[in-house]
Amino acid sequence: MRLAHGAPFAAHAERLRKASIPALLAADAVRARDWSARLGPLSFHYARQRLDRAALAALVDLARRVDVPGAFRRLVDGAIVNLSESRAALHTALRSDLGRGSQVEAARAEVRATRRRMRELRAALVESPVTDVVSVGIGGSDLGPRLVVDALSAHRDPRFRVHFLSNVDGHAAARLLAELDPARSAAVLVSKTFGTQETLLNGRLLADWLGDPRRLHAVSANPGRAVDFGVPAAQVLPMWDWVGGRYSLWSAVGLSIALALGDVHFDALLAGAAELDAHVLDAPPDSNLPTLHALLAVWNRRALGLPTSAVLPYDQRLALLPSYLQQLLMESLGKSVRANGAPVDGPTSPVVWGGVGTDVQHSFFQMLHQGTDLVPCEFIGVMRPDHGHVDNHRALLANLLAQSEALANGADADDPARRYPGGRPSTLLLLDALTPRALGLLLAFYEHSCYAQSVLLGINAFDQWGVELGKRVAGTLLPALEDPAAGEVLADPVTRALLLEFRNRR
Ligand code: F6P
């Protein structure tokens, strides 16, 4: 494998490709203790990865040579890290005072002013008859806030119920609106561009259903479009080009979070992320949690060639974490060219997938234990639950521990069908409790790991040109669904045939 600065890892990978994880642990008496790190309520345990100290040292050395620490500094100081769009990616300025220079100061001033407007808007809604707020958005304008609101439901402020509407499929809107009363509802249309088809269609549907523009709000980097749409200008909150959609839950995009949880908990979420921001700037690569996480991800994907990676929260409240991470990681890292436009020289993003334990033990864990592909697993556990069902929680933790052990160690049997090969790498992330602070820290941990991976791979984590073609083609096809003549001129023979089929079956 060759990485951003051409470091050769083939020898380490060759030596370790078939290594037994129990043997690696047996050969290193203090590995289980040493290969873990902690920051506040979050600890990270990686002793069950398929590498040894020599390979880990080489990885840490790579992080130094590629200058991951300098890359974090440049990110936080607002350097142009998104080269294809000539943009900074200043999500850290949404929650931390760590950036230097006039550009970051100006950004921070805008962030503070926007937070004030978010509080005012919330206060105005509290005074109104509104009980239900629908957040309309998709991708980065949906997944982060949806995850946070769901995960922190124990901290919910009873004044509002917050709902999310993303899919253009009208069933989603129909189901949601059937539960709500337009006279007691408000909507927040969240779209950085205010040009996303799904959000505009669902936004129009909501605006018509509400029948009163005074209960429409928007968050956008294109406020003019939101006003043209019919949102009162005083109710349009800003977003900025220097925040990527999938890194934006800390901005006014998180208005739904502030409404659902209250300002105090929203502030705690930001404070948790800020702790992680300080950590990435301070800690050297060998004790920097996101850097270590990124190095292991790149090791599994590039050096060991493992094509997928599973995210397995053992906590129902984190059921949406895999979807959130799919966008964060695959939209950021699913690239075939380097930041300078040259082709990459190896794999980039794994396919990220997963689901919540223990449910998934009874669905895809068969494949994890005995399938032909090795899947590195990331287990996420929470020590103290928000409920009093002690036996359930004990069973949950026992399963979490058991799965990671069984995947690594395997078990022999005479009958090949009953044999467990083991050797399946995993990491464990443990939170003391699922508080707003801890969740902020966890999500910022993933953001920074993702960025560090992009630096190691030499790719741009902050653009997503890959999603544009499909949108363009859908735009061209839309008229053909109404007008058969428009379909006949389409170039693609399969699409032409399918359109005919659509027409015959409607
Ligand atoms: O389709 C991908 C994408 O551009 C994401 O990156 C983004 O989070 C999402 O669409 C929504 O975009 P917007 O906030 O502009 O509506």
Residues 420, 332, single domain; the answer is: yes
Specify the pLDDT at position 2: 53
Question: Does 285 map to a domain?
Answer: no
Question: Does 137 map to a domain?
Answer: yes
| The two structure tokens encoding residue 51 | 């590498």
Active site residue 217: no
Active site residue 471: yes
> What is the mean pLDDT of the segment spanning 455-482?
93
- What's the domain range around 362? 4-58+306-436
Is the pLDDT at 191 greater than 80? The verdict is: yes
Specify the pLDDT at position 503: 84
Of the given ranges (139-143, 337-341, 421-425, 444-448), which has the lowest mean pLDDT? 337-341
Is the pLDDT at 481 greater than 90? The verdict is: no
* Helical residues (DSSP H) of 458-492, grouped into ranges: 468-482, 484-488
Specify the pLDDT at position 506: 80
User: How far is the centre of ligand 1, averaged over its atoms, from the C-alpha of 334 (Å)?
Assistant: 15
CA 86 to CA 441: how far, in whole Å?
28
Residues 420, 482, single domain; the answer is: no
pTM, 2 dp:
0.97
The answer to whether 454 and 332 are in contact (CB under 8 A) is: yes
Is the pLDDT at 250 greater than 70? The verdict is: yes
Cβ-proximal residues to 336 (8 Å cutoff; 6+ apart), any chain: 343, 344, 348
Active site residue 362: yes
Q: Is the CB of 452 under 6 A from ligand 1?
A: no
With 0-12 / 13-18 / 19 or more C-beta atoms within 10 angstroms meaning exposed / middle / buried, residue 208 is exposed
* Helical residues (DSSP H) of 299-389, grouped into ranges: 321-325, 332-333, 365-370
Q: Is the CB of 202 under 6 A from ligand 1?
A: no
For the chain, the domain total comes to 3
Write 410-419 long-range contacts (CB < 8 A, 24+). 419/370
CA 223 to CA 225: how far, in whole Å?
5
Nearest-atom index, ligand 1, CA of 138:
11
With the most atoms of ligand 1 within 8 angstroms of its CB, the residue from 141, 243, 248 to mutate is: 141
Question: Does 391 map to a domain?
Answer: yes
Taking CA atoms only, the protein residue closest to ligand 1 atom 6 is 245
Residues 34, 114, single domain; the answer is: no
Taking only the tens place, the pLDDT of each residue in 286-329 is 999 999 999 999 999 999 999 999 999 999 999 999 999 999 99
- Catalytic residue, chosen from 5, 14, 389, 471, is 471
User: How far is the centre of ligand 1, averaged over its atoms, from the C-alpha of 454 (Å)?
Assistant: 20
- Phi-psi category of residue 158: left, alpha or beta, with phi > 0 → left and psi -120 to 50 → alpha: alpha
Specify the pLDDT at position 504: 87
Residues 323, 410, single domain; the answer is: yes
Rounded to the nearest integer, the mean pLDDT of the chain is: 95
Specify the pLDDT at position 3: 58
Residues 252, 120, single domain; the answer is: yes
User: How far is the centre of ligand 1, averaged over its atoms, from the C-alpha of 189 (Å)?
Assistant: 13
Is the pLDDT at 119 greater than 80? The verdict is: yes
Residues 427, 328, single domain; the answer is: yes
- Catalytic residue, chosen from 198, 275, 331, 378, is 331
Q: What is the CATH number of the domain that holds 390?
A: 3.40.50.10490
Specify the pLDDT at position 6: 46
Question: Does 289 map to a domain?
Answer: no
Taking CA atoms only, the protein residue closest to ligand 1 atom 8 is 140
Taking only the tens place, the pLDDT of each residue in 65-102 is 999 999 999 999 999 999 999 999 999 999 999 999 99
Taking only the tens place, the pLDDT of each residue in 4-20 is 544 457 899 999 988 99
User: How far is the centre of ligand 1, averaged over its atoms, from the C-alpha of 342 (Å)?
Assistant: 25
Taking only the tens place, the pLDDT of each residue in 366-396 is 999 999 999 999 999 999 999 999 999 999 9
User: How far is the centre of ligand 1, averaged over its atoms, from the C-alpha of 92 (Å)?
Assistant: 19
Residues 233, 130, single domain; the answer is: yes
| The two structure tokens encoding residue 205 | 């549907």
| The two structure tokens encoding residue 107 | 């950004």
- Catalytic residue, chosen from 18, 171, 362, 387, is 362
| The two structure tokens encoding residue 63 | 């992080």
Is the pLDDT at 46 greater than 60? The verdict is: yes
Specify the pLDDT at position 112: 98
> What is the mean pLDDT of the segment spanning 254-259?
98
